[in-house]
Amino acid sequence: SSFISKAMTYLSLAFWSLDVPISFFTGYVTRRGEVEMRLPKVAMNYVKTRFLSDLLLVITEWVSFGFDSLVESDNVGSASDYVRVVLRFSRLLKVGKARRLLSHLRRHVRSNTVLYFLSMSQTLVAFLILTHLIACGWEW
């Protein structure tokens, strides 16, 4: 792997690993529109809503990282390609988290310019993902 690829892997692993503990301290907006910052309520809300999916995402990242390290050292058999594909596919959980963040931004942003930028960014990302999937299918 290239230096940039390894750096991005480490950066991604660090980001998603730190996201879980930080989320225990990140306030939220209640149904009544009030900002809740009391730590016990914030932590309980996180556990009830996103904790399980975030934990699954981080576990997937670490397992994928460990498996990629094994593959690079040639200590695995022929089933390794299948397992790598499954682990990489499971990273799509990040898309769900990104969609929740985007939805949250749309609800709280009042600027038409920012909303337009978010919409255009979403379209661009969807196009890039589609292009990537077509390229992967082409090579497969």
Whether 17 and 66 have beta carbons less than 8 Å apart is answered as: no
- Beta-carbon contacts of 71 under 8 Å, excluding residues fewer than 6 positions away, are 80, 84
User: pTM for the complete prediction?
Assistant: 0.58
28: β partners: 36
pLDDT tens for residues 23-58? 999 998 888 889 999 999 999 999 998 898 888 888
